[in-house]
Chain A
């Protein structure tokens, strides 16, 4: 970095942004990997239904397919906002 560089605005640390974005998307894609093709669609539709009643973020619904000798288990988890922030948009 030279003297002149101090006059320029410093660029953001974009490597950290890349890492965080990848962490989330890779985890999401791994969870639905090998499962039926409809999982991402199912996830989105569930999200829409939940959002009718509770205001949640776009990554609030997590889907996981667990395999065991007994068969497959579809695991769903919905992260709700903390009590004070829950603002239903529909009655």
Chain B
């Protein structure tokens, strides 16, 4: 049984690729055979975040157009032998992706025994984003607690319930989850940032995870190691929790409250 999960958001720069890399890695760490696919044709980046940019020979478009086999194009992760990356084409234009071609590649992955296929959507609502969500069984909508990101997420939720194969076949949208990134509990307490509850209430779908704003996220992308590997960081732990919830475990939310300050800090500031 294969589950296809799209990581999407509408707005750019909210953490879709970071999230795709960490969720896919987390699923593989739990022993599931997982593939993560970059749908951002022309702006390939998942390879950098996964740290395999120098091993890309063939890409997604090569496979769709029959210039390479899927086996040749799948890049096996250095750390997990059950995790594979399929890079986006850097040179083709986005019309190179076709619905029929994407469907064919996903079917082949299913036949190869992949348990999870994570589709990293490009920003926007154009063809790449449409195809990333079209075949998905469930969706993770990445959102920052900020007005434009929340509004764009709602737009994406609308597309998920009308422009996917499930919707077209009258099955209704599959499970949808919110994943908040760049969450800053100190600013939430100060009334400067919307809370998890606010965002959840506005968008009306359940929260899969909350990733606190953390320096470790940039450090991880700098070094090409998905942040979930950094088990000492709060962002890494928050992603590990999200993966656990994704596979159905009941894990309490963490890192939602501002750290308590001592007396001196309260009096004299940080």
Contact = CB atoms under 8 A, between A and B. Distances in A.
A5 B194 contact: no
B198 interface: yes
Contacts of A29: 151, 154-155, 158
> Taking chain B's interface residues, is the majority helix, strand, or loop, or is none over half, making it mixed?
helix
A18 B154 contact: no
A91 interface: no
Interface string A2-13: 111100000111
Contacts, number: 55
A2 B267 contact: yes
Nearest to B147: A18
A33 interface: yes
| A11, A33, A34: most-surrounded residue (chain B CB, <10 A) | A33
B1 interface: no
A25 B202 CA distance: 10
B155 A15 contact: no
B250 to A, nearest CB: 28
Interface size bracket, B side: 20 to 34
10 contacts: A2-B270, A3-B267, A3-B268, A3-B269, A13-B191, A22-B147, A22-B202, A26-B151, A29-B154, A34-B158
A22 B151 CA distance: 7
B151 A14 contact: no
Contact of B158 (A13, A19, A21, A30): A30
Interface of A: 1-5, 11-16, 18-19, 21-23, 25-26, 29-30, 33-34
B191 to A, nearest CB: 4
Contacts of A33: 158
B266 A15 contact: no
A15 B198 contact: yes
B150 interface: yes
B202 A14 contact: no
Nearest to A14: B192
Interface in B126-161: 146-147, 150-151, 154-155, 158
A26 B154 CA distance: 7
Nearest to B203: A26
Nearest to A12: B191
B191 A16 contact: yes
Contact of A19 (B151, B162, B198): B198
